[in-house]
Chain A
Amino acid sequence: MRTMLSRVMAAVAAVGLVASVPQARAADPIKIVALYNLSAGGLASIDGPSLNGAKLKAKEINDAGGLLGGRMIEITAIDTKNDLKEAATGAKRAVSMAGLVAGIGHSDTTFALASAPLFQAQGIPFVTSGATAPELPDMVGDQMFMACFGDDVQAHAMAEYAYNTLGVHTVVMWTDNAMDYTKGLSKFFQDRFTQLGGKVLLNDVYMTEDKDFSALVSRLKANADAQAVFASSGPDTAGIIIKQIREAGINLPILGGDGYDTDLISTVPGPDLSNNVYFTTHAYVGLDTGPANVFRTGYQKAYGGPPENAFAALGYDAMGLVADAIKRAGSTDHTAVTKALAETSGYEAVTGNIAFKNGSHVPSKPVAVMYVDHGKVNLKTTVTPKS
């Protein structure tokens, strides 16, 4: 009993010790929290690069002398472990940090909805780098900003590209029913595609953890009239879907959204099968602007390789948006930063100009249509939404 007691007490003491480890002190740093799924799930393949991008931007700003007269940006990365409870408690931990200025993070709508409302409740601005549901700011509130375009924009761009440019008039649609992002993307695509006069022959659904798509592939084969497949998928399944469709000998164009922007879509099926795939993503590849070039060389230098995907650029932009707002606000006061964020106009981001117009917190940004040929991802065209 006695030894057990001492063991328990040692454990308690260890916990207490760990909990009271003092935070590193710097001369009044500007604290930013980045919430990303780093240690689990396919989202890690886009969240990891996002965090790298954000850190790179912060480092660049710090190297150039920081903000507000020499204050350094300090990013605390919180791993949300592909678990919504971790996202919510991580956000609570973040908003309880003394002197937190803003939060950034997440590449998936469901996760953004778990953490952003907690920032909203404390009146702290939150900029998502890659959660693309256009309704997000309406659902969360006035502290919520997006650094990326909405799914409506990319899905409409893909529908128009497919119908007008590729001449696809009939599609089969696959949707991951376990993700909000994929469901929204499919809905927006179907709306615009049918509006244009296209026809959806079949709506098939699956779950993120599915690995075997043989039944769906067979059904796709049975729809001989289909001219393309719109497979609304996150990074977990995109590569597997392409592989299994191609292995069945189906060579129809496969269409998708920015969830395809991971190297898994070319490495998993291999160069022979990763063919005739079109997907939309955040423009930066085709942009030969100043920021895009600075970003590309900086990333190469910092991480020893080119940016994995557009989400690295989005993380960089999310951090940049916040820094820009702090600079314009001239302080780290939450209200001032939020106000400055809302007034952002013409911020030259890597992924295109960002402006929050008419009270909207979703920027209107160009969409890149990418084409995969023998495992090589190439820019096909860049579509700039009208409005």
Chain B
Amino acid sequence: MTGAYILEQIVNGIILGSMYALIAIGFSLIYGIVRLINFAHGDIVTIGSFTMLASAVALNLPFPLAILVVLAVGGATGMLIERIAFRPMRGAPQVTGFIASLAVAIMIENLGIMTLTAQPRNFIVPAYLSKFIAMGPLSVRAIDLAIVILSVLLMAALVMFVRFTRTGMAMRATAENYNVARLMGINIDRTIAVAFAIGSALAAIAGLMWGSKYSQISPLMGLIPGLKAFVAAVIGGVGSISGAMLGGYVLGLAEVLLVGLLPPEYSGYRNVFVFAVLIVILLVMPNGLLGRSTEERA
């Protein structure tokens, strides 16, 4: 096993981790504010990649412009779901919201199957994204580089937003204490809507990345990345944005490295390893890597 081989695995892990992180942020952002595990989040990934396909292929928009469309559609879908499905049952037990989000997920998936059929279809990226860029001993594809850079930029922007803008502060305050925030005159409905919009927009971008990288999309494609990102958010500590980012990279690296460094007979055990690692992390740190140990709020 050469150094270049291991380096290559690490790079692969970081690429996968970037996408997990982007999706995981949405889980944490929404959970932090409304204490809701939003399982429909994975389907925003699907919506993101189909939006990209529609705007880049059908409407023939240039790639960077199409990214903006994806951001907008993703964010709008997130707000719409929140308005229709989650707002009416705010204040209900946590598990109710969880089930509601499952119902939304199933609805989105089956709407997709009914309108687009379950058959996977290909995803087209411009040729310049498939070019190779030599970096020392490695050669990385432009799309992979773009994924990492764009993810880091988006995450940095999010951190700045949450830290320095009024809306960002409102979000943090609401996450800290919902009732006090409301008494302080923070517009809760608006804050929650913004959290959904941001989280969903990021997931939609992750969907666009997922589609560009693997080139095959289907109405059920969001299921597995959504689930893995949820795991990543939990590893990092649900509710913590930086935790979600860290969790995404930890999961991506663990997944690729475990398969890459262990003998090939064990490749089939990929999910076994991932979830075993997850359970071990949780046992050692029951609140995740960066989660705070607060008693759960009902």
Contact = CB atoms under 8 A, between A and B. Distances in A.
Interface size class of B (residues with CB under 8 A): 35 or more
Nearest to A237: B216
Contacts of A205: 264-265, 267-268
Scoring B122, B127, B139 by chain A CB atoms within 10 A of each residue's CB, the highest score goes to: B122
Interface residues of A, number: 41
B118 A247 contact: no
Contacts of B16: 212, 214
Interface string B209-238: 010001110101000100000000000000
Nearest to A40: B118
B117 A270 contact: no
B120 A215 contact: no
Scoring B124, B216, B220, B260 by chain A CB atoms within 10 A of each residue's CB, the highest score goes to: B216
Given A44-B119, A45-B120, A270-B124, A240 B270 contact: no
Contacts of B8: 214, 218
Contacts of B268: 177-178, 205-207
A216 interface: yes
B260 A219 contact: yes
A48 interface: yes
A126 B255 CA distance: 42
Given A210-B270, A215-B12, A219-B260, A267 B224 contact: no
Scoring B121, B124, B139 by chain A CB atoms within 10 A of each residue's CB, the highest score goes to: B121
A38 to B, nearest CB: 7
Contacts of A243: 214-215
Nearest to A203: B264
Nearest to B257: A215
A269 interface: yes
Interface string B96-132: 0000000000000000010001111111100100101
B12 A40 contact: no
Interface in A227-271: 236, 239-240, 243, 247, 249, 264, 267-270
A158 B264 CA distance: 24
Interface string B8-50: 1100100010000000000000000000000000000000000
A264 B218 CA distance: 12
Contacts of A93: none
A215 B256 contact: yes
B117 A44 contact: yes
A83 interface: no
B275 interface: no
A156 B210 CA distance: 36
A381 interface: no
A50 to B, nearest CB: 13
Contacts of A218: 5, 8-9, 12, 260
Contacts of A221: 5
A272 B130 contact: yes
Contact of A42 (B120, B127, B260): B120
A361 B113 CA distance: 36
Contacts of B172: none
Contact of A40 (B113, B124, B139, B270): B113
B244 interface: no
B12 A214 contact: yes
A239 to B, nearest CB: 6
Given A207-B268, A207-B270, A243-B215, A216 B259 contact: yes
A270 B215 contact: yes
B214 A269 contact: no
A133 B78 CA distance: 45
Interface in A21-41: 38-41
A264 B216 CA distance: 8
B271 interface: yes
A373 B259 CA distance: 31
Nearest to B264: A204
A236 B120 contact: yes
A202 interface: yes
20 contacts: A39-B118, A41-B220, A42-B119, A44-B119, A45-B119, A45-B120, A177-B268, A206-B267, A212-B12, A212-B256, A215-B9, A215-B267, A218-B12, A240-B214, A249-B139, A264-B122, A267-B121, A269-B215, A270-B215, A272-B127
Given A207-B268, A239-B215, 15 more contacts: A39-B113, A40-B113, A41-B220, A202-B264, A203-B265, A206-B268, A211-B214, A214-B256, A215-B260, A218-B5, A218-B9, A218-B260, A239-B122, A267-B122, A268-B123
